[in-house]
A = this chain, B = another copy of it.
Amino acid sequence: MDTKTRFLQASRQLFQRQGYHGTGLNQILELSKAPKGSFYHHFPEGKIQLAAESLELAGAELEALIRNVISHANDPQTAITVFVNKVAKWFKSSDYSAGCPITSVLLDTVPDEQLTTRSCRYVFAQWIGIWSDYFESSGVSTVDAQYLANCLVTGLEGAWIVSRAMQSLDAFKFVERSLISQWQQVNGDRK
């Protein structure tokens, strides 16, 4: 694996658990097993650039999961269930500490540091877009599809947070129930 990728993966892991300011550059360098000199070669704009690119990497990883779940599921309801449970399981296996890799960076960088905020917006939009297209392709209206997709992403973000504080997966369970219920209602209306 090349050096730049190691930087990105190391920072993704660390930012996810400790946030942007809570993660030192030296810590990233150590985990990447790469020297400081190389870092500024790959990221001339420094830590903030690393964060932005790291966000997009993290976004792409989760996007891959979404596409994977969608392509294997028979219907949206199953997709929702499988997806929420996968995320929940991963979260638990990290001891409730590796939450949403986007949020942890989003929340402790001031908004005018445009690089990161822009990346966060892009990633969320992608996720919502994929789900929305998927729901729409299964027959619901565009408006409802967007509604469901937004509920899904928003609910997931909320669950990651509440779950971390509570050290329990309950929040994911409630979100799952809520999403299924919404889906059935929207889908039922159509019929």
Within 8 A of B (CB), among A139-157: 147, 150-151, 153-157
Least Cβ–Cβ distance between A52 and chain B, in angstroms: 13
Given A19-B19, A151-B174, A182-B178, A159-B158 contact (CB < 8 Å): yes
Name the residue on B nearest A162 (C-beta). B154
Name the residue on B nearest A150 (C-beta). B174
Assess whether A60 is interfacial by the CB under 8 Å rule. no
Question: Do A150 and B165 touch (CB < 8 A)?
Answer: no
Assess whether A1 is interfacial by the CB under 8 Å rule. no
Q: When each residue 150-191 of chain A gets 1 if its CB lies under 8 Å from chain B and 0 otherwise, what string results?
A: 110111111101101111001100110110011001000000
User: What size tier do the contact residues of chain A reach?
Assistant: 35 or more
Name the residue on B nearest A178 (C-beta). B151
Given A150-B170, A182-B178, A161-B22 contact (CB < 8 Å): no
Question: Do A99 and B108 touch (CB < 8 A)?
Answer: no
Chain B residue contacts of A111, Cβ below 8 A:
95-97, 164, 167
Chain B residue contacts of A18, Cβ below 8 A:
21, 108, 110
- A157 vs B174: C-alpha distance in the bound complex, in angstroms? 14
24 of the cross-chain contacts (CB-CB < 8 Å) are A18-B108, A19-B19, A22-B108, A22-B110, A95-B111, A100-B161, A106-B165, A107-B108, A107-B161, A107-B164, A117-B165, A124-B166, A147-B174, A150-B174, A151-B174, A153-B162, A154-B158, A154-B175, A155-B158, A155-B178, A157-B157, A158-B158, A178-B178, A181-B182
